[in-house]
Amino acid sequence: SAGGTVAADGPTALVRQALMALDSDLPPDSGLFTAGAGAAMQLLDGAGAARLAGAARVAGGGYDAILLELSATQLIGSPENVESLVADLDPDEIGIGPWETADLVVRRAANLTYGAGEPARAAEVLAAARAELPAACAPVLDAFAAGVDAMAGRLPADTMAGLPDHQELPDFARLTGLCALLTIHASTGDVAAADAVAQRGAQLLNRSAAAAPLVFFLTWHHLRALLLAGRLAAADRIAEQIEIRTVGLPALFGRFAVQLRGHADLAAGRLGTAVPALRRAVDVYARDGSNAFGLIDSRIDLATGLAMSGHADEADAVLAELTAEPNPFPILDPPLLLARAWTAAAQGASTVAVDTAQAAAGRAAELHTPAQEVVCLQVATRFGDRGAAARLTELATLVGGPRAGAAAAHARAWAAGDGEGLLASAADAEAGGDRATAIDVAAQAAAVFRRRGLRGSAMSALERAHRLADECAFATPALNAADDRSTRTDRQREIIALVGEGLTNREIAAQLNVSVRTVEGHRYRAARRQSIGATPGLA
């Protein structure tokens, strides 16, 4: 079968042998070219595979060569080329049956959905195929549709669990089904189940050239499951593995691997490495148009990282690019709202930031992703919201992994003004590799201690927050508020920040949902306290 022949010396030797034959004056050898293309796909060398598979097709290699050329083109990330290749294929002319035809339909639908960012066109293609193909082929289409449904919050039926095991399912469709299962397990923080599904996917990728184009998607889903659950060290290992595997492949390393590295670093609070990696991913995706899903996801992460670094204007510019067109991927709605929340926080609009993080949590609930809801409420708490403790405590009984319980403990300590509890939560976050959260929780502990007049404890907590922030290049609202040793209230700090943005009293009142008189009063009291030289230290 395609991709199944490997030289005794391994796939690298076979690829070299096939390329040498292709560049020689020898008669074309479609069998060798096809085998070489399959070996190149095992190595994730999409460029080499495309060249050899194209030569095999021209030399009469048949459907195996066509399928390998299509797989290689998908791996490289050329949505327009994939569409032109598969849309014009005539099943009768190339001699394939209904199951192979259904496989081509799924590949086309995947390319339209995630490569081109046109899920509506993909739905039309699937609907037409259901009307034309025998009912027995439905599992092929169902496997792909299940993944789309899972990512849109429409959880597939219980029968989905066994769908990837269907004996006649083509490898590409089988892997789309496994990605659907990964999405479901990620939504509840079931890391053990996610790891098991990811392992099945890895085994399939190791033996199947046909499934290779989905290596990024499988890895992304696995990484997401680990990050949502709070398994940051395990997520780091996944990102490192894909980096190592693609380091010699510019097309993949420059997009997929660097995006996943940025994703993992951002979650852990390593902004010094996350932001440059995400800039690079966005630049490549935007320049070559290789993957609409990857571009949107990378832009969301970049906007978040820039806002966390205190670069609100740059974050706002990235968000403007994101809102130029509607987001076609519901699974990315909560992270997009969180990026908006972080940007509002960086601009000093703490009320808007909390409200937007809560809206992200609401959207996550609509999508039936409680693990994502935990992340959103955790961010709202970091922004100063004191009302998330009850819901997070409930979610901690529903969601697996360490994050849910830790977020609930943090929210309870913050609501109770428990400085010692906040310090314990900060220590737990730091120990788990979540330095971003540790910074904000330690800063909140400092603010609590200061209000209680415990200057030594406040200084110690603030020193801890700054130590981590200096390592991570953070400039978060909680840290900024803890550093503000004036007698201004949180609301006064927020209003002064909005004044600095150039907003009028009326615009500030509308944004914060308060009266103009309230804004004027806060501005007057803040200015008066500053003018009389209020004693710092007891905010």
User: Distance between CA 79 and CA 73 in Å, rounded?
Assistant: 8
* The pLDDT of residue 289 is above 80: yes
Q: What is the pLDDT of residues 262-277, one digit of tens each?
A: 999 999 999 999 999 9
User: Distance between CA 85 and CA 429 in Å, rounded?
Assistant: 49
Tell me the pLDDT band of 519, cut-offs 50, 70 and 90: low
Average pLDDT, the chain: 88
Tell me the pLDDT band of 534, cut-offs 50, 70 and 90: very low
Q: Which residue has the higher pLDDT, 516 or 535?
A: 516
Asked if 37 and 69 touch (Cβ cutoff 8 Å), the reply is yes
pLDDT at 279: 97
Q: What is the pLDDT of residues 444-486, one digit of tens each?
A: 999 999 989 999 999 999 999 988 888 877 777 777 777 654 4
Amino acid type, 250: P
pLDDT at 517: 67
* The pLDDT of residue 322 is above 80: yes
Asked if 395 and 374 touch (Cβ cutoff 8 Å), the reply is yes
Structure-block tokens of residue 218: 């499988």
Tell me the pLDDT band of 4, cut-offs 50, 70 and 90: very low
Q: Which residue has the higher pLDDT, 371 or 351?
A: 371
pLDDT at 499: 67
Cα angle for residues 468, 472, 475 (degrees, 5° grid): 85
User: Distance between CA 182 and CA 250 in Å, rounded?
Assistant: 27
Q: What is the pLDDT of residues 182-241, one digit of tens each?
A: 999 999 999 999 999 999 999 999 999 999 999 999 999 999 999 999 999 999 999 999
Nearest to 122 by CA among 86, 95, 90, 166: 86
Asked if 70 and 37 touch (Cβ cutoff 8 Å), the reply is no
CA of residue 114 relative to chain centroid, distance: 13
Q: What is the pLDDT of residues 135-187, one digit of tens each?
A: 999 999 999 999 999 999 987 766 677 878 888 899 999 999 999 999 999 99
* The pLDDT of residue 1 is above 50: no
